[in-house]
Amino acid sequence: MSDDILIQSKFDSTFLSSFKRSAVDYFKENNSALLEAYQSGIYDASVNFISEGHLKTTGTSQTIDDVKKFLRQASFNGELTLKDNKGDLLETVPDQECLANSWFKEKNNSSYYTQLILMIPKDNDRNKLSRVVQVFFLKTFCHLKYAYVEHTDTEIYHYHVIIDKSFNDKLLSKLRKDFISICIEHDVKLV
């Protein structure tokens, strides 16, 4: 057996496409590649690596003007409709400004917002991405204020999101893992 074949068999990552981490008891599984990957940390490293291309921070907003600017730019100056965490549609720039004003009024004019982009570039199925994003929001951000918009202006469908929260590296890593897990549950092609 050549060294190339041996290396390939040791690092076979096909388990990622079918693996649903939350439902697995690693020691009861009959999948030796999965157990070895889990024990060596390969799964977590792979998920972290893969997920960086699917969920990224694009900036932060700390002032009401920053939030209004993000909403205006993400919606192409009101050409696209944003949706907020309550399901309300923000169809105009004045709607967006009203939302930003209410967010800051509730927080006594102090808050920290994180801007994210969500995408599945290897599986560019618009309906699948929409389902994945909706499930991700419901599971992850149900207690937060957020607004988002779908973009179809490039070959890769994607969502821009602004969330009423600051994310450190540890929390961002968890968000990425959660997003990838939901992608896997919905049979998204990741690599």
pLDDT tens-digit profile, the chain (191 residues): 444 443 333 444 443 343 333 444 444 555 565 555 445 444 444 444 445 668 888 889 999 999 999 999 999 999 999 999 999 999 999 999 999 999 998 877 667 899 999 988 777 788 888 999 999 999 999 999 999 999 988 888 889 999 999 888 888 888 988 988 898 888 888 76
- pLDDT for 95: 97
The answer to whether 136 and 182 have CB atoms below 8 angstroms apart is yes
CATH 3.30.930.30 residue ranges of the chain are: 55-185
- pLDDT for 138: 93
CA 28 → CA 22, 34, 35, 92, 104, distances in Å?
14, 11, 9, 54, 50
CATH 3.40.50.720 describes domain 55-185: no
